[in-house]
Chains A and B, each alone.
Chain A
Amino acid sequence: MTHHMRIRALAAVLAAFATLTAVPASAQMDLSGYWARDGDSDNGYSREPVDLLGIPVSADGRAKALSYDIAALSATERQCQMYTPFYALTGPFGMKISSEQDPITQKLVAWKIDGWIDRDVTTIWMDGRPHPSPYAPHTHGGFTTGSWEGNTLTAVTTHFKMGDIKRHTSFSSDRATLTYRFTRYGDLLTVTGILEDPVYLAEPYVLTHIFRLDAGGTTFPLTACEPIEELPHLHENPGLVPHYLPGANPWINELTQNRGIPMDAVMGGPATTYPEYRKVLKDTYKMPAACKIDCGAPPPPAAGGRGGPPPPATPAGGRGAAPPG
């Protein structure tokens, strides 16, 4: 055995002990796998076109929401517009998360959340690279970096385009920042999203969702989008952008009519997200005698039984219907 070989052997012994007895600076959890969406919240099931319940919108955010006509999505240039990264919390799908490692060192370079049919891929860079200049191009998925805090992965997304934050009723601007926190508890993954937007929000908008590890889960893959002619009058008038002028949104009373919730609450804003707002509601909320629409499906009858509760009647109206008179 040569001198160099002996030195290398000795170094290898010491390095092996040093590695095996080292404690990492920050614990890291394996987040990879398919995480199924479990349960739902009202944020993903906004039925009424004007619904800012629980959203701390600014005056500009409210004005933007009230001017929005969903028919705008049929314009050729908007048909392939995707949701914002916040849609991971409000959308209907699960999340497929995978890790990307450096092929030589095996160090973690990034976590990747696969896209859905209408949500872009999120790549969470873990290698310490900085966010781009504020003037860099924005994408639907944005630019995301991450770091570990104990067992929690914290990720910050910037540079994403203006888009939906509550099913076509509220929006974030292209100056928004989304901070995610991913915390794993066994087979559960709690994702907290804190959305900050100096344009359309007056306070941070915080949402949470819990996902469950599902070994056999699949998601709708992100596919290429091809615009088609959806509404002839938009196709014939390419300069037309469907919208509502101030004070002219025909859907503004729908949530109040359906659920008895006062207009002041429907318009959102920071004050409506704090418990003391219930004092205002106590005198203004009129509870309907029964739930009329979007009430949740009754349970199926027990196996082998008959006579389960009848399904609810199909509600009239909806987004495709004519505005209420």
Chain B
Amino acid sequence: MSWPTDRKHRLWRAALAVAVMALGGGLHAQRGAPQPPAPARTAAPIDLTGTWVSMVTQDWRWRMVTPPKGDYRGITMTPEAYKVAQAWDPARDEAAGEQCRSYGAPALMSVPGRVRINWQDAETLQVETDAGMQTRLLRFARQPAAARPARSWQGDSVAEWQMPRGNVPLNLRPADRTPGVAAPAIAKGGTLKVVTTNLRPGYLRKNGIPYSESAVLTEYWEVFKRENGEQWLTITTLIEDPRYLRQPRLIAIPFKKEPNDSKWDPTPCSAQW
């Protein structure tokens, strides 16, 4: 049995129309003037705001107390860094007004304490710590080079959102669907990536293990909610410093969200404790 020619043409025209419609959205998006990106606050795929407490369940002996000189377990220093660490003198640091050396961005999130995160403006996240009373500014809008400030404990932090994206082979597989429920346009969640440079030299650990001014700090901030309602923040941290580190330092720091900041306890920097 064969179909009439006009019916055959109608079927193929319909298939062609479906294909054009399916591709239409993508093609349309590629034409015309580029749209300005939404402000970072509007585009945020995750909500980092609020007060978070660091859970000191690992590296306790190096974080909760000031370890003695010579306790360098876990950090692979260069010989030059070892000499600097062996010369650690907290009293001298205090006297020189350098008591915040262990509160610089590469170490700050490991310091036991609470962090309070707010939007300073539509393109800047402000991260305050009660321990050391420090403030980090995570800027989504790039600053002009001329506006770059002097080196500081918290340096210059450039932030960007990273949205979920599957790899190609898995992406092409049909997604699991519940019958009658449309698949969401994009997967939920996302990550905040922050790269910090322009740092003033400081300590990775309170007992004088140094990082240099050429250190680069890369962080990935991820939040997740548990079935019991708890919200957690994990900051995956990569510190690269060829002058003082033989290998990049990798740590991930967990925080738990608190309902308010009633336990906020501003405490100034201390070189001794």
Instruction: Identify the A interface with B (CB < 8 A).
Output: 2-3, 6, 10, 13-14, 17-30, 38-43, 45, 53-56, 106-108, 148-152, 154, 179, 181, 183, 185, 188, 190, 192, 194, 205-210, 212, 259-261, 265, 272-278, 281-282, 285, 287-291, 294-296, 298-302, 305, 308-309
Q: Are B69 and A296 in contact (CB under 8 A)?
A: no
Given A151-B191, A185-B236, A272-B64, output 20 extra A-B contacts at Cβ < 8 Å: A3-B2, A25-B187, A28-B166, A28-B170, A38-B247, A39-B247, A54-B60, A54-B64, A190-B252, A192-B252, A208-B234, A208-B251, A208-B254, A209-B252, A261-B65, A274-B53, A274-B56, A275-B265, A288-B68, A299-B77
Chain B residue with Cβ nearest A206: B254
Q: Are B220 and A190 in contact (CB under 8 A)?
A: yes
Distance of A55 Cα from B65 Cα, bound (Å): 16
Give min CB distance, B244 to chain A, whole Å: 10
- The size bracket of the interface on B is 35 or more
Distance of A261 Cα from B66 Cα, bound (Å): 10
Distance of A209 Cα from B236 Cα, bound (Å): 9
Q: Are A26 and B175 in contact (CB under 8 A)?
A: yes
A39 and B112 contact, Cβ closer than 8 Å, known pairs A296-B71, A296-B73: no
Q: What is the 8 Å Cβ interface bit string for chain B, positions 86-119, against chain A (1 contact, 0 not)?
A: 1000000000000000000000000011100000
Interfacial chain B residues near A2, Cβ < 8 Å: 1
Q: Are A282 and B273 in contact (CB under 8 A)?
A: yes
Interfacial chain A residues near B61, Cβ < 8 Å: 42, 53, 259, 261
Give min CB distance, B26 to chain A, whole Å: 8
Q: What is the 8 Å Cβ interface bit string for chain B, positions 138-175, against chain A (1 contact, 0 not)?
A: 00000000000000000000000000111101111111
- Interface stretch, picked from B36-44, B178-186, B195-203, is B178-186
Q: What is the 8 Å Cβ interface bit string for chain B, positions 16-38, against chain A (1 contact, 0 not)?
A: 00110011001000000000000
B49 on the interface (CB 8 Å rule)? no
Give min CB distance, B142 to chain A, whole Å: 21
Chain B residue with Cβ nearest A107: B173
Q: Are A24 and B273 in contact (CB under 8 A)?
A: no
Distance of A55 Cα from B173 Cα, bound (Å): 42
Q: Are A41 and B69 in contact (CB under 8 A)?
A: no
